Amino acid sequence: MKQEKGLIQLVVIFILAIIILSLLGVSIKSLIDKLPANNTLGDNFTYVWNSVTEFFNQYVSQYYLMFRDWIIGLIKNIF
Q: What ranges do the domains of the chain cover?
A: 1-34, 37-79
pLDDT score for 41: 67
* Cα–Cα distance for residue pair 34/18, rounded to 1 Å: 18
Q: What is the percent of the chain where pLDDT is above 90?
A: 11
* Contact (CB, 8 A) for 35 and 41: yes
CB contact set of 32 (below 8 Å; sequence gap of 6+):
38, 41
* Contact (CB, 8 A) for 58 and 50: no
pLDDT score for 54: 93
* Contact (CB, 8 A) for 46 and 52: no
pLDDT score for 50: 92
pLDDT score for 44: 78
